[in-house]
Structure 1
Amino acid sequence: MPNLFLFGATEGGLFDFDATLPLMAVQVVLLTFILNALFFKPVGRVVEEREGYVTTSRAEAKQKLAQVERLEAELKDQLKQARQAAQKLIGDAEKDSDKLYREALALATAEANASREKARREIDSQRESALNQLKADADQLGKLIVDRLLAAK
């Protein structure tokens, strides 16, 4: 194998440092600027817009969640107050109905006692009347018997 270093290097080898290296560097830089301008900036803008949208949506969702939790707490408090008010109304209604029942019972008892007392007085009156009638009849019968016995003698 011939020695290449003696005869000179061939062109286009592995490391050829002629004008192609700066040309390739300029092409890479130019391609980077073109790609950045055409693809990366619009894609970056879209990604930033979406990230902003997601961030805004998350913040709004957190605010709405906090508002929902606050409203839920208020509604639970209102429900608790409504239940207490309903229980108070039920208690008051039970007391009122118990009071009306007792009043009606007392009235009915008083009417029954008055009716019974009236009936007792009427019975006593009729009994006295009957006893007086009976005494009068007995006296008359006694006089009649005495008169007949005396008349028969």
Structure 2
Amino acid sequence: MTWLLLAETSVPEGGLFDLDATLPLMAVQVVVLTFLLNALFFRPVGKVVEDRESLIVTSRADAKQKLAQVERLEADLAEQLKGARQAVQSIIADAEKEVDVLYRQALAQAEAEANRVKEESRRGIEAESESARAQLKDKVSQLSATIIDRLLAA
């Protein structure tokens, strides 16, 4: 109970809040400290954050632009590759046709040469056959004449 009396007597007359010059002084100190902290710490840190954010935004925009450019180039290269494949297939088809034509020409030429050699051989055989027949005919005539001469002589 004595403590309660002492607590009541030690409180000055203004009550719980005393509205003397300390409250405005504290308010001024808080405002000055806020301006100082803002000027010395928060503004430079905010500037660094904004600079980084703008760097990130520009880097992202550049990356998107480069990605779009890469995709365009990739599409162009795919189209060129498709065209090149079609050109190669066309060249291969033309080469196959040319090889087929050359093969047929070579085959026809070989057949013509074989027919020519066969015909020459046939003619040669016929000529030799005719020559052999003529010789045999002469010999037969000679033998016939000899036989007839011997028969008539006997």
Superposed displacement of residue 125, structure 1: 0.8
State how many pairs are aligned.
151
Alignment match of 1:34 (pick from 33, 36, 50): 36
Alignment match of 1:83 (pick from 78, 82, 85): 85
Superposed displacement of residue 82, structure 1: 0.4
Q: Distance in 1 between matches of 2:86 and 2:34?
A: 73
TM-score, normalised with respect to structure 1: 0.92
Are 2:110 and 1:99 aligned? no
Partner of 2:126: 124
Report % sequence identity: 65
Q: Distance in 2 between matches of 1:139 and 1:11?
A: 182
Q: Distance in 1 between matches of 2:60 and 2:15?
A: 58
Alignment match of 2:74 (pick from 55, 72, 75): 72
Q: Distance in 2 between matches of 1:110 and 1:122?
A: 18
Unaligned runs of 5+ in 1: none
**Cα distance change, pair 11–28 in 1 and its aligned pair in 2 (3 A):** farther
Superposed displacement of residue 136, structure 1: 1.1
| Aligned Cα root-mean-square deviation (Å) | 1.9
Partner amino acid, structure 1, of 2:83: Q
Partner of 1:25: 27
SS at match of 1:29: helix
Superposed displacement of residue 105, structure 1: 0.5
Alignment match of 2:53 (pick from 48, 51, 54): 51
Q: Distance in 2 between matches of 1:123 and 1:83?
A: 58
Unaligned runs of 5+ in 2: none
TM-score, normalised with respect to structure 2: 0.92
Superposed displacement of residue 32, structure 1: 0.3
Runs of 4+ in 1 over 4 A off after TM superposition: 11-14
**Cα distance change, pair 146–25 in 1 and its aligned pair in 2 (3 A):** same
